[in-house]
Amino acid sequence: MKAIMTLSPFIGNLIGQALPDGWVIDRQLPRPGTAGATDLSGSFFSVGFIAKKTVGKKQTEAFLKVIDVGNALQAQPGHSSLMERLKNVTDSYSFECSVLDICEKARLDRVVQVIAKGELPPPPGSAFPIPIPYMLFELADGDVRKIVSRTNKIDDAWRLRVLHNVAVGLQQLHGVTIAHQDLKPSNVLLFETSGQGAKIGDLGRASRLGMEAQHDALAIAGALSYAPPEQAFGIRPELWVDRREGCDLYHLGTLATFLFAGITPTDFYLENLPIDVRPAVWNGQSNCDYQTALPVLMSTFTAFVDAVSSEIPEWARGEMSQIILNACNPDYKKRGDPGARAQIGEPIGIQTFVARFARLSKRAEIEVRR
């Protein structure tokens, strides 16, 4: 393996540096896009490490996320001043810490737990002597993207168990008015060695009702390849339930199609939508607006569900197809459980999806044993 990309001169060498409560920084993880980082995800402005802690004969590891302020300042000069760029980085860090505090206080057990957060003093050799923000998290065995890419031995019981865990995680987040906004396979972390199952990680793009974040103004806060159609067309729904919770539900449905068929709705839209209907971010050549494109989106989406359903076991095909139809509906006003949408406030009915996946997961355990 080639050498790991070094940190920016603003951070210097952190290996061996002590953290509170006996944690010590042990090693750096490869940055996304560098040698050895095939299965890793993350931001160019943060660096991953493994920290270790020894109590008696027991050694525990944790994931350390360090904010590389130096790279953030160097990588986005634009037309903003140095102080504006520094404020953007620190505001993002502060917002994520606030969201993590809410999750910790609410004891959301389907969201990855933060162990500690704070600031490190700049180590010797740092070119810019400012404190280094960090967050320390419980360490997962891996993520869904990694598992799916490395093995073909996963079964339907595992797939549905993961989907149920993630649906519960979204229900917990929505219960404290937080939307994840960037749910994708690499942000679904697995804790199977400890028997905890799957949890939702990386709240760096989350939104919270009544708590403004700088990325809230973006048309697409998360990954473009998982964005729902309205975001791709630059539409910002007025209601929180449509704009934020509906996006999370779309991502949940996309996770289901990825797990069962290895494809996402965006993959299918890119291949099958006429170029004069696709928006620019989907490599389109059109000024077609969302409402005009919606009928074509709906027919293409229906074909997508038909294609995906052939990859779903027959005993689950009908219900899973309906879940995908409800969760990934291109019309954001109709996305969600139809019964819930008819109620006052038009909730998406996340609890219905939790119940469906719980039922399917139990049935899958029986089918796998057969």
pLDDT at position 7, please?
54
My answer on whether 121 and 152 are in the same domain is: no
pLDDT of 9: 57
Q: What is the pLDDT of residues 17-36, one digit of tens each?
A: 999 999 999 999 886 554 44
143 - beta bridge partners?
189
Please check whether residue 311 lies inside any domain of the structure. yes
Per-residue pLDDT, 242: 97
192 and 336 both lie in a single domain: yes
Q: What is the pTM of this model?
A: 0.92
Q: For residue 83, what pLDDT band results from cuts at 50, 70 and 90?
A: confident
Kindly tell me if the per-residue pLDDT of 86 is higher than 90: no
Domain count, the chain: 2
Task: Quote the crossing angle between the two packed helices 290-309 and 265-272, to the nearest 10°.
Answer: 110
Using the 3D structure, point to which of 120, 138, 156 is the last residue of a domain. 138
Closest CA to 6 of 93, 125, 92, 90: 125
Same domain, 131 and 213: no
Question: What is the CB neighbour count within 10 angstroms for residue 101?
Answer: 12
Beta bridge partners of 189: 143, 199
Question: Considering all CA atoms of the chain, what is the largest pairwise distance in Å, rounded to the nearest integer?
Answer: 65
Assigned domain for 304 exists: yes
- Domain of 60 in residue numbering reads as 20-138
What is the pLDDT averaged over residues 170-176? Answer: 98
Cα 146 to Cα 109, 114, 191, distances in angstroms: 22, 22, 13
Q: Give the tens place of pLDDT for each residue, 324-364.
A: 999 999 999 999 999 999 999 999 999 999 999 999 999 99
pLDDT of residue 14: 86
Q: Let me know whether 130 and 214 are in one domain.
A: no
Does residue 4 belong to any structural domain of this protein? Answer: no
Q: Using N-to-C axis directions, what is the helix angle for 82-106 and 156-175, rounded to 10°?
A: 100
Q: What is the pLDDT of residue 5?
A: 43
* Per-residue pLDDT at 135: 97
* Domain end position, chosen among 138, 153, 183: 138
